[in-house]
Homo-oligomer: A and B are copies of this chain.
């Protein structure tokens, strides 16, 4: 495997460290809402117990108690599920890595939303797949386009989707389209990978059924994560899938890194015994909703009228779309960074096939309120000036 490319995400992780800059770039959750004290108590409890095996090796599929808690949580979300359907992974990213390793051979086709999560492409690329894409619309991915891709290319191995508050667009897939996805996956014998890092962070509207809950032929592989609802520094996520798939993925996990941190699994398992995660998530969601409203209000007040933006019902991101000839990467380099001291993620890298240059991903999650207003206002000013110049 020799496919190693410099990564835009990585560059942004570096940029994010510059205190001068107001970065709307990273996919970071707000550290103010990590349950730091409760986690400290959980680590203390787990490490105080001399008979605890939290510092020892454990099974590669993950700590039994945590797997059971994840299975129970999935059940409450409408997914029939036992401990044996759960594999604990090193964040959702490792889920994507293991699944593609298992299912994708060089030249196989992966079908994604257009645009899609860059980190998924980074996980998939070492398998040397081909990509086909179906555009994101208001109701989610264009299922008619998905269908025509699957009908015309027999090499499709998996469809990768983020149904809730998609990264990067913030769009949520309608129930009708969720059903359509399951139907066409069944008919075309394809695995569906459902990635749900933002699912619980809903601002408004009813929760929609997961693809996994609609799955009739055990062909949905569901990925979840504690990164956005507890803390990403724990590196804990999960895969829920059929027992035979979990068995195989567990062996790949063993080969890749033996297991997740026993201590982190034990501490999170301890935390979940008493901590009201749903209440915590509702608090986070309410906080992010406020930040989103503030950002969209500021965009409305300060951006040129022809800049389109999505109004997500949850998650961390809004997606900006500019006129077709606008280049968000060049604009960031030449004007947004030096003049507005603002960073976002230029959209091109989120497109697996056609690197469209006229979009940007903006996160409303991590900057304090005053920085959101200051940064978006400064960006709006430079954007208006750019519009004037280009006339």
Instruction: Please report A residues at the B interface, Cβ cutoff 8 Å.
Output: 1-2, 4-7, 9-10, 13-14, 26, 28, 31, 34, 36-37, 39-40, 43-44, 47-48, 50, 53-60, 89-91, 93-94, 97, 101-102, 104-105, 119, 122-123, 125-127, 231-235, 248, 251-252, 254-264, 266
Report whether B31 and A232 are in contact in the complex, using a CB–CB cutoff of 8 Å: no
15 A/B residue pairs, CB under 8 Å, sorted by A: A1-B102, A2-B105, A9-B254, A10-B59, A10-B251, A13-B58, A28-B57, A39-B47, A39-B55, A57-B233, A93-B256, A97-B256, A126-B255, A232-B262, A233-B262
Which residues from chain B contact A4 at a C-beta distance below 8 Å? 102, 248, 251-252
Residues in B whose Cβ lies below 8 Å from that of A34: 55-56
Q: Which residues of B contact A50 (CB under 8 A)?
A: 36
Q: Which residues of B contact A53 (CB under 8 A)?
A: 31, 233
How far, in Å, is A102 (CB) from chain B's closest CB? 7
Cα A124 to Cα B53 in complex, Å, equals 29
- For A89, what are the chain B residues with a Cβ–Cβ distance below 8 Å? 257
A1: contacting residue among B56, B127, B233, CB under 8 A: B127
Which residues on B sit within 8 Å (CB–CB) of A7? 251, 254
Asked whether A56 and B31 contact (CB < 8 A) given A126-B255, A254-B7, A258-B93, the answer is yes
B60 touches A10 (CB 8 A): yes
Contacts of A93 in B (CB 8 A): 255-258
What is the bound-complex CA distance between A362 and B88, given in angstroms? 30
* A334→B270 CA distance, assembly (Å): 41
CB distance from A208 to the nearest CB of B (A): 27
| Nearest CB of B to A212, in Å | 22
**B residues within 8 A CB of A31?**
53, 55-56
| Copies assembled | 2
- Residues of B within 8 Å of A91, CB to CB, are 257-258
CA distance A34 to B51 in the complex (A): 12
Least CB distance from A228 to B in Å reads 11
Taking A122-B254, A235-B258 as known contacts, 12 extra A-B pairs with beta carbons closer than 8 A to each other, sorted by chain A number, are: A4-B252, A10-B59, A13-B60, A14-B59, A26-B57, A39-B47, A40-B48, A43-B47, A57-B232, A97-B257, A235-B259, A257-B257
Please indicate which of the listed interface residues A9, A105, A122, A248 has the most CB atoms of chain B within 10 Å of its own CB.
Answer: A122
What's the minimum C-beta distance from A110 to chain B, rounded to whole angstroms? 14
Are A257 and B235 in contact, CB atoms less than 8 angstroms apart?
Answer: yes
Contact B40 A36 (CB under 8 A): no
